[in-house]
Structure 1
């Protein structure tokens, strides 16, 4: 039996990469350091550019069963809730080949995991961490740490899909200059039972509220039974690590946000959240190359991005599809396929990283600049605002 391509990380990007590689006729071994493969957090937005790829992997039916398709996006002025533009999403499938969908992270990951476990060319191991590795011509030797000791594994290639604080990236680029850097922004996240939220927010629609120095996004999940809410604000760093260790209740967070003067309905939604978790947003320096020989990076390990275009997961999925396509079209070594993969993906992913940051700056304008922005959004209307981001969603 041929040696596998080893994938470090069983998140959305890693599991999609395994399925894409298997479709290309390659064996994949997915190693997840957590003892149990389960997603933390709350909601994912999956735009049509990623939805087309997942459907192409044969996942349309199970994904449709756990997804919710928002009918519109409302862009709101934060101080009074006025809808500046309503973006109609109902014709997304006809325009871009797939709908806009939102998922609970655990539901999306479970669909991918079950598909991977069912595939004869994919093996998934939990509680297994990639340690040191050495790339040679045509292979990679890895030391894998598990509960029962250390195992030596040979692979034809290694894909680091192990997130922002990627251990694979850390070994490829062992320099302080490549360390994660706090963006100056923090996300506070909560799931609110729909019956506790203001009635106006129970529709199958996404909402974006723009505030001076912050913004709020919320949308329903799981057939509308819960509402995923994310509050992003500028904050000084509270800690050096990115793990979430802080929590506030809704009343505490609402008081902390009084300086932004949110509308009464928005404040009521925030107060309805029983527990808000603190997630500092980090980035890393852009890379000119993601690969060294038979080792490459994918998703947040390669190009962490701020969430203001809702493209983080989508870009990991695009990476995974391009990785499989490189093997399918070239039928070559990992070194050759990885070089082709990064040539395809680096320009687009880098463009979206920059655009995401600019979008956040746009959301957070204050004073006369915010007034000008709001007037421009009203002038463009929903159709015009959706057209501004059409380059993200259309077929390449």
Structure 2
């Protein structure tokens, strides 16, 4: 039996990669640091480019059971809620091969986890992490640290899908210049019971409100019973390393947001959040290579991106598909497959990282420039805005 490919991390990217590799005939071991596989956070948007891949992995029925399909995206002027453009999503499936969907993160991860657990070629170990690893004569030897001590694993390859602060990336690129750094932006996240939200904001639609130096995104989840709300603000770090996780009650966050002039409905929605969690947004320097020999990176470990195009999870899923395709196309050579995977993905992922940052800057424009931006969005309209982003979804 051939040596397995080890994946560090059982997040959305790691589980998707395991399913794609198993589909390509590879044996996979996932090492997950946490004792229990459960997603933190709240809402997650999956655009058609990732939805098509998940359907191809046999997950369509499982995902349809837990997803909500918003019928539109409303781009709003933050100070009064005026809709500048309404992007109709009702024909996404026929246009791009999959609908736009929103999920509670835990629901999506559980669907992926159950599919992985059911696959005979995939083994998942919790309370386990990748330690040191070495390559000799085309073989990869790595140490897995778990509750029972340290185990030596002979692997054919290693995929670092262990997030923005990836330990695998740190082994590949051990330099201070590659460390994560605070972007200057923070996300405040909450789940609001739908009955507490303003009636005008309970529709099965996604909404983006643009304010000077801030923006807010919200959409319903779990059959409309809750509303996922994310408030992004430019602010100084709240601890020396910028990584403190704090919490605010709704009225406190509303007071923080009020100087930016939010409309009454938006302010009411923010006030309705019982507890807002503080998530500083970090970035890392772009990489010109993701792989070295039989070791490669995937998802946030390779290309962490700010969330302003809602493509972070989608790009990890695209990575997973490209990884599986490389093995189907090239056969059993791990180094060649990893190199092919990197070549097929690095330009697109890097482009989306840059575009996501620019999108955030665009949302946060203030003064006369914001008037010009709003006019341009009105002139382009919903169909024009969707067409502008079609390169993401095709």
**Normalising TM by the smaller chain, what interval?**
over 0.9
What is the CA-CA distance between 1:332 and the residue it aligns to? 3.1
| 1:244–1:277 CA contact under 8 A, matched in 2 | no
Secondary structure of the residue aligned to 1:140 is strand
Secondary structure of the residue aligned to 2:187 is strand
1:333 aligns with 2:333: yes
Size of the aligned set, in residue pairs, is 394
> Residue 224 of structure 1 aligns with which residue?
224
Work out the CA distance in 1 between the residues paired with 2:34 and 2:137: 30
> Residue 249 of structure 2 aligns with which residue?
249
Work out the CA distance in 2 between the residues paired with 1:96 and 1:303: 24
Q: 5 Å matches for 1:6-85?
A: 6-85=6-85
What is the CA-CA distance between 1:245 and the residue it aligns to? 2.1
| 2:238–2:244 CA contact under 8 A, matched in 1 | no
1:117 aligns with 2:117: yes
Work out the CA distance in 1 between the residues paired with 2:256 and 2:137: 56
Q: 5 Å matches for 1:181-192?
A: 181-192=181-192
What is the CA-CA distance between 1:216 and the residue it aligns to? 0.2
Work out the CA distance in 2 between the residues paired with 1:174 and 1:355: 27
Work out the CA distance in 2 between the residues paired with 1:241 and 1:28: 36
Work out the CA distance in 2 between the residues paired with 1:178 and 1:243: 17
| 1:78–1:262 CA contact under 8 A, matched in 2 | yes
| 2:190–2:230 CA contact under 8 A, matched in 1 | yes
Work out the CA distance in 2 between the residues paired with 1:334 and 1:261: 54
Work out the CA distance in 2 between the residues paired with 1:26 and 1:244: 40
Deviations 1:339-373 (A, max 9, x none): 00000000000000000001001000001110000
Q: 5 Å matches for 1:272-291?
A: 272-291=272-291
1:126 aligns with 2:136: no
TM-score, normalised to structure 2, is 0.99
> Residue 213 of structure 1 aligns with which residue?
213
What is the CA-CA distance between 1:200 and the residue it aligns to? 1.0
Deviations 1:259-303 (A, max 9, x none): 111001000000000000000000100000000000000000000
Work out the CA distance in 2 between the residues paired with 1:8 and 1:369: 45
| Residue 388 to residue 258, structure 1, CA distance change in 2 (3 Å) | same
What is the CA-CA distance between 1:135 and the residue it aligns to? 2.1
| 1:136–1:294 CA contact under 8 A, matched in 2 | no
| 1:242–1:279 CA contact under 8 A, matched in 2 | no
Work out the CA distance in 2 between the residues paired with 1:244 and 1:7: 28
| 1:138–1:333 CA contact under 8 A, matched in 2 | no
Gaps of 5+ in 2: none
Q: RMSD of the TM alignment (CA)?
A: 0.9
Work out the CA distance in 1 between the residues paired with 2:169 and 2:339: 16
| 2:237–2:243 CA contact under 8 A, matched in 1 | no
What is the CA-CA distance between 1:334 and the residue it aligns to? 1.0
> Residue 375 of structure 1 aligns with which residue?
375
Work out the CA distance in 1 between the residues paired with 2:239 and 2:316: 27
Deviations 1:175-215 (A, max 9, x none): 10000011000000000000000011111000000000010
Deviations 1:23-65 (A, max 9, x none): 0000010110001100000011000000000000000000000
Secondary structure of the residue aligned to 2:208 is strand
> Residue 322 of structure 2 aligns with which residue?
322
What is the CA-CA distance between 1:220 and the residue it aligns to? 0.2
| 1:163–1:300 CA contact under 8 A, matched in 2 | yes
Secondary structure of the residue aligned to 1:257 is helix
Secondary structure of the residue aligned to 2:37 is coil
Runs of 4+ in 1 over 4 A off after TM superposition: 240-244
Q: 5 Å matches for 1:84-233?
A: 84-233=84-233
